[in-house]
Amino acid sequence: MNRIEIYGTPMEHVFHMYYDYISEACGDGAALIVCENYKEASDLFIEWWTKNHRDQFTWFTNDRIFIHPRDEYENIVNYHDWNENFMFSDTTHYMCEDPEFIIKKNSMSIYNKEIGLIAV
């Protein structure tokens, strides 16, 4: 288990590290962001992805939306497809090899200090 504790790093930087880890794992990546507002965080991540990465996938889909379906389980939101799992929760899940990005101090947006990932 890889636990990465985040202390006040801007939200956009956390999303960048999180996305890069998952997407660069040869199609087999997974990671979990652990924060108090995990459902809101999952929506903020999709907004971030849409702003920063959707144009890379226009060859694949005409609607230019995040191509991973969303599922919600007990205390977890998971966007998944092709063995990739973009997960959000308010508790740790002790994943075997994949990292948990644990928000220990609020990670607010660079652009709007009213939104961000709230510490657990």
Those residues whose C-beta lies under 8 Å from the C-beta of residue 30, and which sit 6 or more positions away, are: 22, 83, 84, 85, 86, 87, 95, 98
Angle value at C-alpha 14, between 1 and 60, nearest 5 degrees: 95
Total-model pTM: 0.86
Which range (4-13, 39-48, 69-78, 88-97) has the least confidence?
88-97
Q: What digits encode the pLDDT tens for the residues 77-111?
A: 998 866 788 999 999 876 667 889 999 999 999 99
* Cα–Cα distance measured from residue 93 to residue 15, given in angstroms and rounded to the nearest whole number: 19
DSSP state of 62: S
State the average pLDDT over residues 8-13. 97
Mean pLDDT, residues 18-28: 79
Q: For residues 76 and 59, which has the higher predicted lDDT (pLDDT)?
A: 76
Count CB-CB contacts under 10 A for residue 40: 16
